[in-house]
Amino acid sequence: MKTFDEGNFDIVVIGAGHAGCEAALAGARMGLKTAVLTLNPDSIAFMACNPSVGGTGKGHLVREIDALGGEMGVNADKTAIQARVLNEGKGEAVRSPRFQCDKNAYHREMKRTLENTPNLRILQGEAKKIIVKNGRVRGIVTDYGGKLAAKAVIIAAGVYLNAETITGDVRKKSGPSGFAAATYLTKELIRLGFSVRRFKTGTPARLDGRTVNFAECTVQTGDDNAVPFSFLHEGEVNNLCDCYLTYTNEATHSVILENLARSPLYNGDITATGPRYCPSIETKVVRFADKQRHQIFLEPEGADTNEIYVQGMSSSMPHDIQKLMYRSIAGLENCEIIRYAYAIEYDCIDSLDIYPTLEFKKAEGIYTAGQINGTSGYEEAAAQGLIAGINAAFKIMGKPPFILGRDEAYIGVLIDDLTTKGTEEPYRIMTSRAEYRIGLRQDIADLRLTPKIIGTPLFTDERAKRYFRRKIDYENALKELASCPDRRALAEFAEEKNMTVSGSPSYADLIRRGIAAEELRERFGILKGIPAEIVRSAEATEKYAGYIKKNEREIERAKKLEDKRLPPDIDYDKISGLRLEAREQLKRVRPLTIGQAGRIYGVNPADVTVLMVYLALKK
């Protein structure tokens, strides 16, 4: 095929899903000439599964993305139709925002943002070839022969690589929702040295809301005065629609169990690895045979459509069985299906092939982000896209790599898990994956992370104004809570609450004894002029001060290992004392530090000691 010049760029991003959008925006906002290649501009930031953003763990990621200058939180705030905070009754560390978004509006707003971002070009086409010379990427060639020269290439191909949708015995070469699959790139990845694997995910049916009897379901309203995702957002978030809760039942389970032979998951047609934490309804019924029912959430796809997303009921059953399944559920007895459920298989890479910067180990300047790295979820994808975009830009600009630690961000936990431990199934972030989660609360994500982008174009004047205002309010709240100008009044209050105080107590001492900051504000007139959201953050910090200090000591010990860097050219075969398994795993992962080496599966404390002795002798 004859090639032609499509232009010279600093960064080319392959794919315009949630990872690709963040990567492209980061590069362009850093002042670098950026192109984003998409199979179809109508699929930019397309929500192929649930039109929601956030949730437990995932909401933490979105607020961190925003704190670092990303776009997902801004876009979710613009297009929200219902806002809720999950785990409100639990500790602050696991509370997390979740917004139902307008599916079409989310796509339109993100596309508009890309179109109006300086230094950014959108191009329709498919990547056919990645040009690498002397171990460094030089650009790509499209399926139409267009050559895009580039200093860095970010592959954010989502679930489109050799994608096939499966429903019953019908298998189609297709990406999500009928969009075309990418058919060339997998061969290129293999040629370049990537290890490629096959994963699977799925999505439930969409129903015509006019045929659903919502009166038979439990209504779930949005939260009043919900806090936005973006720290730039002023005002409240929209609550335009209700969601509903219903359940599967014995009849539903009978339909599934009687027709397992027609399920591609159980008749051998699907062999790819699926997500453990988001299983199909068939898997849930089989795996949890003792459960009499499973929760099903009915969620609107947007304010301008009647389509209802049936969360909790993804399936690859044939259409006739799906109709029986859905109509066996209370409220859905007469439902009409607009889009049937399907499973989708796709190619992805082994994430141990990339560094914590998300750069490919075998070719300089190639980065991967999103579901191609074996993750699931819009939020995980967007987080990786942002980090890949920042690192590609920093490398071109001659700046040090941008790597977040496990103690600094959920994004750090996500990427460290992928690049140190790998994943044998579609990976999902959870609060339980973060060993320092008490210090990684989503409400203070900007105070934790925004300082890291100061001095870059991502730290805009608007963000600086909001950040410093919040920082001052937060510090003033902590300072005021640590004080007590009127000990007698405080002692009288404590006596009313049947509490014994001694020495020089402070308002913070009462908070740690279970008194709410809001009650202290009303009683003593403190914290005047400080927003309620900031007061709540300061209250949480004081409440968990003991745990936070304990975490800080653990983090300090761990950092000593993270500071001990391993030479990139280290020959593990020549280090005596390493066990064979450890040697093989270290060669596979190529850890950057002793700390990272200690987190690799198959490397035990004795192996870490051997490495430390080796480093000491090398000095």
Instruction: Please provide the DSSP assignment of 160-177 as one string.
Output: -BT-EEEETTEEEE--GG
Q: Do the domain assignments include residue 557?
A: no
Per-residue confidence at 513, pLDDT binned at 50, 70, 90? confident
Domain match, 137 and 261 both: yes
Q: Do the domain assignments include residue 558?
A: no
Q: Do the domain assignments include residue 196?
A: yes
Give strand pairing partners of 308: 207, 300
Domain match, 104 and 141 both: yes
Domain match, 407 and 482 both: no
Domain match, 396 and 424 both: yes
Helix (H) or strand (E) holding 179: none
Measured CA to CA, the distance from residue 386 to residue 598 in angstroms comes to 27
Q: Do the domain assignments include residue 240?
A: yes
pLDDT digits (tens, 9 = 90+) for 221-242: 999 888 899 999 988 888 999 9
Pairing of strands 366-368, 146-155: parallel
pLDDT on residue 487? 81
Residue 14 and residue 156 in contact, taking contact as beta carbons nearer than 8 Å: yes
Q: Report, in angstroms and rounded to the nearest whole number, the Rg of the chain calculated over CA atoms.
A: 26
CA 1, distance to chain mean position in Å, is 39
pLDDT digits (tens, 9 = 90+) for 447-457: 999 999 999 99
For residue 500, pLDDT over 80 is answered with no
- Give the phi and the psi of residue 73 in degrees, each rounded to 5: -65, -40
Domain match, 546 and 567 both: no
pLDDT digits (tens, 9 = 90+) for 31-86: 999 999 999 999 999 999 999 999 999 999 999 999 999 999 999 999 999 999 99
The three-state secondary structure class of 29 is: helix
- AA identity, residue 487: R
Measured CA to CA, the distance from residue 474 to residue 431 in angstroms comes to 24
CATH label of the domain that carries residue 614: 1.10.150.570
Average pLDDT, the chain: 95
Residue 236 and residue 230 in contact, taking contact as beta carbons nearer than 8 Å: no
Residue 49 and residue 159 in contact, taking contact as beta carbons nearer than 8 Å: no
Close Cβ partners of 249 (under 8 Å, ≥ 6 residues apart) = 292, 293, 328, 329, 330
For residue 212, pLDDT over 80 is answered with yes
The three-state secondary structure class of 488 is: helix
- AA identity, residue 19: A
Measured CA to CA, the distance from residue 27 to residue 13 in angstroms comes to 9
Asked which of 525, 550, 575 is the last residue of a domain, the reply is: 550
Asked which of 528, 550, 572 is the last residue of a domain, the reply is: 550
Mean pLDDT of 551-569: 89
Residue 356 and residue 403 in contact, taking contact as beta carbons nearer than 8 Å: yes
Measured CA to CA, the distance from residue 23 to residue 388 in angstroms comes to 6
Measured CA to CA, the distance from residue 347 to residue 188 in angstroms comes to 12
Mean pLDDT of 400-423: 96
pLDDT digits (tens, 9 = 90+) for 523-533: 999 999 999 99
Measured CA to CA, the distance from residue 356 to residue 400 in angstroms comes to 13
Per-residue confidence at 341, pLDDT binned at 50, 70, 90? very high
Mean pLDDT of 82-108: 93
Mean pLDDT of 236-262: 95
Instruction: Please provide the DSSP assignment of 98-157 as one string.
Output: EEEE-HHHHHHHHHHHHHTSTTEEEEE--EEEEEEETTEEEEEEETT-EEEEEEEEEE--
Q: Do the domain assignments include residue 495?
A: yes
Per-residue confidence at 499, pLDDT binned at 50, 70, 90? confident
In 10 A of CB 338, how many CB atoms? 16
Domain match, 69 and 184 both: yes
In 10 A of CB 36, how many CB atoms? 28
CA 589, distance to chain mean position in Å, is 23
Asked which of 396, 415, 450 is the last residue of a domain, the reply is: 450
Measured CA to CA, the distance from residue 265 to residue 318 in angstroms comes to 12
Give the max Cα distance, the chain.
86
CATH label of the domain that carries residue 129: 3.50.50.60
Domain match, 181 and 130 both: yes
Domain match, 433 and 534 both: no
Least confident of 167-176, 327-336, 400-409, 515-524: 515-524
Domain match, 408 and 381 both: yes
Per-residue confidence at 495, pLDDT binned at 50, 70, 90? confident
Q: Name the DSSP letter for residue 262.
A: G
Domain match, 371 and 499 both: no
Per-residue confidence at 375, pLDDT binned at 50, 70, 90? very high
The domain of 596 spans 563-618
pLDDT digits (tens, 9 = 90+) for 460-476: 999 999 999 999 999 99
The token pair at 242 is 């209700």
Q: Name the DSSP letter for residue 442.
A: G
In 10 A of CB 199, how many CB atoms? 25
Domain match, 178 and 264 both: yes
In 10 A of CB 451, how many CB atoms? 13
pLDDT on residue 6? 96
Total of domains in the chain: 3
Measured CA to CA, the distance from residue 455 to residue 558 in angstroms comes to 28
Domain match, 480 and 598 both: no
pLDDT digits (tens, 9 = 90+) for 582-609: 999 999 999 999 999 999 989 998 999 9
Residue 48 and residue 189 in contact, taking contact as beta carbons nearer than 8 Å: no
What stretches of 11-120 show up as alpha helix (H) in DSSP? 18-29, 58-67, 72-79, 103-115
pLDDT on residue 203? 96
